[in-house]
Amino acid sequence: MNETLENIRSQIDQLDDEIIQLLAKRFILCKKTSKFKKQAEDLEREKKIFTKISSPYIQHIYREIIFQAKQFQGKEDDF
């Protein structure tokens, strides 16, 4: 594969599209789980997730994803 700036950016764009779709699916599923539990927080589950992530950069991003998902669970509106 030819490694040009345009090629690399195209790959990043494709990944961004996938990430956006996956995040939307994750938030929808998080909203559905709120029907089965009283609180949005599950610290044991969060610990398990973070043991799988070695990069502090990705951990930071994932903390924000979890935070926003908890906020979304408490909202009445949908995506």
* Model confidence band, residue 76 (pLDDT cutoffs 50, 70, 90): confident
The tally of domains found in the chain comes to 1
The answer to whether position 56 is within a domain reads yes
Distance CA 32, CA 34 (A): 5
Residue that has been written with the tokens 């029907």 in this structure: 35
Q: What pTM, to 2 d.p., does this model score?
A: 0.80
* C-beta separation of 73 from 40 below 8 A: yes
The answer to whether position 16 is within a domain reads yes
The answer to whether position 78 is within a domain reads no
* C-beta separation of 27 from 66 below 8 A: no
Domain with 60 in it: 5-73
Distance CA 7, CA 66 (A): 32
Over residues 28-75, the pLDDT tens digits come to: 998 898 888 777 678 899 999 999 999 999 999 999 999 999 888 877
